[in-house]
Chain A
């Protein structure tokens, strides 16, 4: 089966199977057709297929008459920041985030520096399907400008947003694993701005991924042993475009990526009170934090695009989800791994606490995640079927099926990036959560035959 997933923010697939030059050019042509005249930024993570995709995307944007600023290997949050800073018409970020190396994706960013909203996303798809692109005659070619070190202006902005001096005074020692992704190398600059001593692994933007570029405990073994061996204050894992972070404590405990949101929110809401925007699939841990500061939690569909739109509409203080991606009102409306790392350090410096101490105050929940491979044409109907398992429960069908039970919740949804059904349950008891997941998995397996 060939994998190709379209969602509001872009198109994702396996290189050579579905991510081909022609598909890339078609989508980028549709994006160029949709955008007003102006400059479009193009950046990529470090994947080996990145240049193939980038050349196709740039060809299409030139063809639709747009000047292109080529940022090279560049984290997505930096691209998003530069769109606003340079008043660009939009951007394409070439990255498959946490997906393995054989994947790649085009992510489309509008002039506000956010992923396309629902209306823009469906307009893009309409133009793509119609196949009528605004190719120009090019009597004069738009320029392609290569920007060297595009991250510098971003880092100088970020270091003003953070309480840099207080962080520096704490003289932290940190371990970071950018997974040889777009954040590789840049972490040196970033942590030296914050006066931290850095122990980095997998820090070459080579596109060779020593483990899947997904920040989560399963991939954190190397960081945990380095934290212990070097006596570091904490460890960070990044995904391939530096938009998501997971944490490792000073004791070498590999925290679930679900912890990133409540840990940072516990400090940030104190400075910036306001609603917290999170997805239906994210842990209840955030409810306790929000309650402490008397702010509401608003649950949305899963994914950066949905969260950011609601954050902008509801003037949310922060938006984040259990994958470790967070955005902050007085930073930028984008999942930003550098802002997250900076705020974790700031929380520790300002409150003079160890990471394990910040974690300890968060109520313990146990989240269990599972997934079932499912043919794309049955994804949504099977998810809908699971309603039968919960005839009397309180459900939310904003994104798949979210069921609130007395002592647990379970969320069953079609992945927007792969042909999978994801099943997530959470409870204060691990056994209870596992039970709920097993029940749904068994039910779905029966339906799948």
Chain B
């Protein structure tokens, strides 16, 4: 069988392997389709630090120029900063050359619409129709514009964050912080944010030359160096960004990685303490969020997986805080998107105001154990297996919003066929790690037997 090339087109854009599936031709076609979809106007173009970024960016510029758009090059910046700037500068949209946390041989394009929001599902469908039909509205030569270059556009984002935090209180504490930028785009702004907040910061992995220091997902197994440095430096906390700086994980003052889901719980606790309004999180976020919402008597809206789904629910329901359990904190006060810079600011403000060490603040949420796993399963069988499980568990408390989530009084399991890979993702949470593991194993076994029967 011919080897299939991994080019993944999904709601969040396109990703592929450079030199194999993601070529400048494809990038230019996507940019031409996007320019056709948006119509002539300003479009921001940003990138992460991958070595193939400049090549793809140039192909994108060509496609945007040909469709009459005026690209505004903002260079290497965190994704949330580009989302924020798209809104701030009233651009038609933005294209970001990034493959988020995929390995370095990958790259991709993310498409951002007006107001700095990722495209909604319906918008993605319209845009992809244009791409697939291949009918692009190229403008006549005399209507082609010249690109603009914006240096230091990120400062606007920092200004906005600082204007919404209790800067004086944070500065007064003079926190010692170790920050791991994973050699990603976060290194362009996090050091300056910490400086403005009066922190004494030790920065690691701030190299923007495009070589990831470690696997860039901010999960505990990738944060060994950060944990060690926090102890050596006697820091109050450690901050770990992912490569495009939308997610944040924390390390406490004892040098222990807290797990990504804790970042959201802390941010929700802090913001609800000041303002009682709804919270929106996806189906996979910890039960700690429900406990917090109950304490402050505000509703929790649960959404499908995917940042744009949470953002839409937040905007629709007037949520004051929300996000994802993977360290993606959304505080619409700054901009409705996952933002590690905003998350870092909220956590520092919480530490400053509570006068408690991070390990103590975190302890409250330590009673839950959220485990993640996945199993191989052909896409077609995965969906049928989930349908069968829905039938078997219909009398339990279930949600079929995205895959299948079954909830019990103090535990749940969430089973979700991946959109992009032939796997099923399994998440389980309970009050003990052993029980969570047992839940996952039980459903793995059950899915396997269903697949055997189906196949």
Mark A residues whose CB is within 8 Å of B.
14-17, 20-22, 24-26, 29, 47-49, 51-53, 55-56, 58-60, 62-63, 101-104, 133, 135-141, 144
Closest to B134 in A: A22
Tell which of B24, B54, B55, B59 has the most Cβ of chain A within 10 Å. B24
Cross-chain contact B19 with A56 (CB below 8 angstroms)? no
Q: What would be 7 A-B contacts, judged by CB atoms less than 8 Å apart?
A: A16-B66, A29-B23, A52-B61, A56-B63, A59-B56, A63-B55, A137-B20
Selected contact of A63 from candidates B23, B63, B141, B210, CB within 8 Å: B23
Task: List residues of chain B with CB within 8 A of the CB of A22.
Answer: 25, 28-29, 32
Min distance, Cβ A121 to any Cβ of chain B, angstroms: 22
A16 and B105 alpha carbons, distance in the complex (Å): 32
Given the complex of chains A and B, what is the CA–CA distance between A15 and B61 in angstroms?
A: 15
Q: Which residues of B contact A20 (CB under 8 A)?
A: 32, 66, 136, 138
Is B201 on the interface with A (CB-CB < 8 A)? no
Chain B, range 133-149, C-beta contacts under 8 Å to A: 136, 138-142, 144, 146-147
User: Min CB distance, B24 to chain A, in Å?
Assistant: 4
Interface: B58 (CB within 8 A) = yes
With A17-B138, A59-B28 in contact, is A49–B58 under 8 Å at CB?
no
Query: In the complex, A58 Cα to B28 Cα: how many Å?
Result: 12
Quick check: is B42 within 8 A (CB to CB) of the other chain?
A: no
Closest to A96 in B: B141
Instruction: Provide the bound-state CA to CA distance between A144 and B61, in Å.
Output: 15
- Chain B residues with Cβ below 8 Å from A133 are 23
A102 to B138 CA separation, bound complex (whole angstroms): 12
Q: A102-B142, A141-B210 are in contact. List 6 more A-B contacts (CB 8 A).
A: A25-B23, A25-B59, A48-B144, A52-B61, A137-B18, A141-B53
Q: Mark B15-55, 1 if CB is under 8 A from A, else 0.
A: 00111100111011101100000000000000000011111
A29-B25, A56-B59 given as contacts; is B141 within 8 A of A138 (CB)?
A: no
Contact of B55 among A51, A59, A139 (CB under 8 A): A59
Checking B19, B28, B146 against A138 with a beta-carbon cut-off of 8 angstroms, the contacting residue is B19
**Cβ of B413 to closest chain A Cβ, rounded Å:** 40
- Beta-carbon nearest neighbor of A16 in chain B: B138
Report the minimum CB–CB distance from A226 to chain B (whole Å). 27
**Residues of chain A contacted by B59 (CB below 8 angstroms):** 21, 25, 55-56, 59-60
Is B141 in contact with A62, judged by CB distance below 8 angstroms? no
Q: Which residues of A contact B138 (CB under 8 A)?
A: 15-17, 20
**Across the interface, do A59 and B58 meet the contact criterion of CB distance under 8 Å?**
yes
- In the assembled complex, the CB of B376 is this many whole angstroms from the nearest CB of chain A, namely 27
Q: Is the beta-carbon distance between A25 and B24 smaller than 8 angstroms?
A: yes
B263 within 8 A of A: no
Q: If the complex has contacts A25-B25, A135-B18, are A101 and B52 also in contact, measured as CB distance less than 8 A?
A: no
| Cα–Cα distance between A240 and B215 once the two chains are bound (Å) | 51
10 tightest Cβ-Cβ pairs between the two chains A and B: A16-B138, A56-B62, A59-B58, A59-B59, A52-B65, A62-B55, A137-B19, A141-B51, A21-B28, A15-B141
Q: Give A24 to B140 CA distance when docked, in angstroms.
A: 16
Residue B104 at the chain A interface, CB threshold 8 Å: yes
What is the CA–CA distance of A63 and B51 in the complex, to the nearest angstrom? Answer: 11
**Residues in chain B near residue A52, CB distance under 8 A:** 61-62, 65-66, 144
Whether the pair A138, B52 counts as a contact (CB closer than 8 A) is yes
| Chain B residue at minimal CB-CB distance from A139 | B51
Residues of A within 8 A of B23 (CB): 25, 29, 63, 133, 135
CB-defined contacts of A137 to chain B, threshold 8 Å: 17-20, 105
Verify B55–A141 contact, CB threshold 8 A. yes
A14 to B54, CA, bound (A): 27
Whether A55 pairs with B58 at a CB distance below 8 angstroms is yes
CB distance from B232 to the nearest CB of A (A): 32
How does the 8 Å CB contact mask read for B404-419 relative to A, with 1 for contact and 0 for none?
Answer: 0000000000000000
**Contact yes or no, A51 B24, CB < 8 A:** no
Most chain B CB atoms below 10 A, which of A14, A24, A101, A135: A135
Cβ–Cβ contact B62 & A53, under 8 A: yes
Q: How far is the CB of B156 from chain A (nearest CB, A)?
A: 26
The residue that B52 contacts in the complex, of A48, A56, A103, A141, with Cβ under 8 A, is: A141
Chain B contact patch, size range = 35 or more
Q: Find B19's partner among A51, A60, A136 (CB 8 Å cutoff).
A: A136
From known contacts A59-B24, A135-B23, A140-B51, infer whether A21 and B140 are also in contact, taking CB-CB under 8 Å.
Answer: no
- Report how far A104 CA is from B27 CA in the complex, Å: 22
Chain B residue nearest to A133 in the complex (CB): B23
B141 & A102 in contact (Cβ 8 Å cutoff)? yes
B98 to chain A, nearest CB (A): 15
From A49, A59, A140, contact of B141 by CB (8 A) = A49
The residue in A17, A133, A139 that gathers the most chain B C-beta atoms within 10 A of its C-beta is: A139
- Give A91 to B430 CA distance when docked, in angstroms: 64
- Kindly list chain B residues whose C-beta atoms are within 8 Å of the C-beta of A47: 141
| Distance to closest chain A CB from B73 (angstroms) | 11
Q: Are B32 and A51 in contact (CB under 8 A)?
A: no
Contact yes or no, A144 B51, CB < 8 A:
no
A59 and B62 form a contact (CB under 8 A): yes
- How far apart are the CA atoms of A63 and B26 in the complex, in Å? 12
Contact of B66 among A21, A29, A136, A138 (CB under 8 A): A21
Contacts of B105 in A (CB 8 A): 137, 139
Q: Chain B contacts of A15 at CB under 8 A? A: 66, 138, 140-141, 144
Q: How far is the CA of A20 from the CA of B20 in the complex (A)?
A: 22
Q: Are A26 and B58 in contact (CB under 8 A)?
A: no
A2 CB to nearest chain B CB (Å): 11
Q: Which residue of A lies closest to B19 (CB)?
A: A137
* Also in contact, A48 and B62, with CB within 8 A (given A137-B18, A138-B55, A141-B52): no
A21-B62, A26-B25, A144-B54 known; A16+B19 contact, CB < 8 A: no
Across the interface, do A25 and B62 meet the contact criterion of CB distance under 8 Å? yes
Q: Are A56 and B142 in contact (CB under 8 A)?
A: no
Nearest neighbor of A24 in chain B, beta-carbon distance = B62
Q: Which of B28, B51, B141, B147 contacts A25 (CB 8 A)?
A: B28
Choose among A17, A60, A102 the residue with the greatest number of B CB atoms under 10 Å from its CB. Answer: A60
Q: Which residue of B lies closest to A26 (CB)?
A: B25
**B292, chain A: closest CB distance, angstroms:** 45
With beta carbons under 8 angstroms apart, the residue of A14, A17, A29 that contacts B24 is A29
> How far, in angstroms, from A257 to B268 measured CA to CA in the complex?
77
Quote the shortest CB–CB distance from A128 to chain B (angstroms). Answer: 12
Q: How far is the CB of B99 from chain A (nearest CB, A)?
A: 13
Contact in complex: A63, B24 (CB < 8 Å): yes
User: Contact check: which of B24, B141, B147 meets A60 at CB < 8 Å?
Assistant: B24
Mark B136-167 against chain A: 1 for CB-CB distance below 8 A, else 0.
10111110101100000000000000000000
Contact A21 B210 (CB under 8 A): no
Q: In whole angstroms, how far apart are the Cα atoms of A98 and B153 in the complex?
A: 41
Query: Inside 8 A of A48's CB, which chain B residues have their CB?
Result: 141-142, 144
Task: Tell me the nearest residue of chain A to B146, going by C-beta.
Answer: A51
Which residues on B sit within 8 Å (CB–CB) of A53? 62
- Alpha-carbon separation in the docked complex, A242 to B375 (Å): 64
Docked CA distance A25–B22 (Å): 13
Pick the contact of A51 from B53, B65, B136 — CB < 8 Å?
B65
- Give Cα A71–Cα B393 distance, bound, in whole angstroms: 67
Complex Cα–Cα for A139 and B20 (A): 13
| Chain B positions within 8 Å of A49 at CB level | 141, 144
Residues of A within 8 A of B142 (CB): 48, 101-102
Within 8 A of A (CB), among B46-91: 51-59, 61-63, 65-66
Given contacts A51-B65, A52-B65, contact A16 B141 (CB under 8 A): yes
B54 touches A141 (CB 8 A): yes
Residues of A contacting B25 in the complex (Cβ-Cβ under 8 angstroms): 22, 25-26, 29
B63 to chain A, nearest CB (A): 5
Q: Is the CB of B28 within 8 A of A135?
A: no
**Residues from chain B with Cβ under 8 Å of A144 in the complex:** 54, 58
Contact present for B65 and A104 (CB under 8 Å): no
User: In whole angstroms, how far apart are the Cα atoms of A43 and B13 in the complex?
Assistant: 32
Beta-carbon nearest neighbor of A58 in chain B: B58
* Cα distance, A60 to B17, chains bound together (Å): 16
Q: How far is the CA of A14 from the CA of B66 in the complex (A)?
A: 12
